[in-house]
Amino acid sequence: MASNDSDPRTRRPLIGLPTYYGRGQFGVWDRDAAFLPSVYVTAVTRAGGRVVLLPPEDPWTLNEVADLDGIILTGGDDVDPGLYDAQAHPRTQVPNVRRDSFETTLYRHARTAKVPVFAICRGAQIVNTVHRGSLHQHLPDVEGFGAHEAVKKDDFAEVAVRTESGTAVSDLLGTGTTVRCHHHQAIDRLGDGLIVSARSEDGCIEALETSDGAMLAVQWHPEETLDDLRLFAGLVAAATQRMSAPLTKPDTTTPETNAEAHR
């Protein structure tokens, strides 16, 4: 009997991963390329999803985003301070405006289309700015906060985090764990409609989520610990549930969506 590829029970959920442009050298070539560390792809695949890479070209429409079953906003360079009406700190990196615009639009459409989102490090910061929150631009300048990045290149700081009971993060990870961090920026003013779901011992916000459970974000890098895929499995499970639900047209009139879109 032939399989029915349109039946959600016979296919893995499709997870969109944004990429970013940079200069790449391979073989005789030295040219612009779309990048994303392969650990993100591996983590999603091992957790049971299948990946589509999203280059930061023309913004996806709402209906195109609705075709995805889940989205991961990945890590990377600092977001533009203009997204939260701030001047750049001397240590803030030159913004990648193209990537910022692509990912903020992607997230807004995901919220409208009720596509589950998992945001990592920079992705968590993008989410917070869309919800009208702000960022600490350089944690070493903030009294009371310890190191959340390693000095050595390509290394990570080991940070203990405590989850908040009753949150999606605590459901997935328990009361606490040690995570791998590499961020010199962090959440300052929490965005509208967001809930803190984990903090480090110095009080830095390390995870946040929406009250509807459709978005979960962490400041650390779970893709770097492929032996623990609980957070990725959580996204795949949410994407599978959405994929199996009756199709509905995205609602473009919800108050939250309008507030996010007219920041």
Active site residues: 121, 221, 223
3-state secondary structure of 129: helix
Instruction: Identify the CA nearest to 203 among candidates 184, 180, 187.
Output: 187
Instruction: Identify the CA nearest to 54 among candidates 45, 40, 43.
Output: 40
Q: Report the C-alpha gap between 152 and 227 in whole angstroms.
A: 23
Q: Is 150 in contact with 206 (CB distance < 8 Å)? A: no
Q: Is 203 in contact with 145 (CB distance < 8 Å)? A: yes
Q: DSSP strand E in 36-131: where?
A: 50-54, 70-73, 117-120
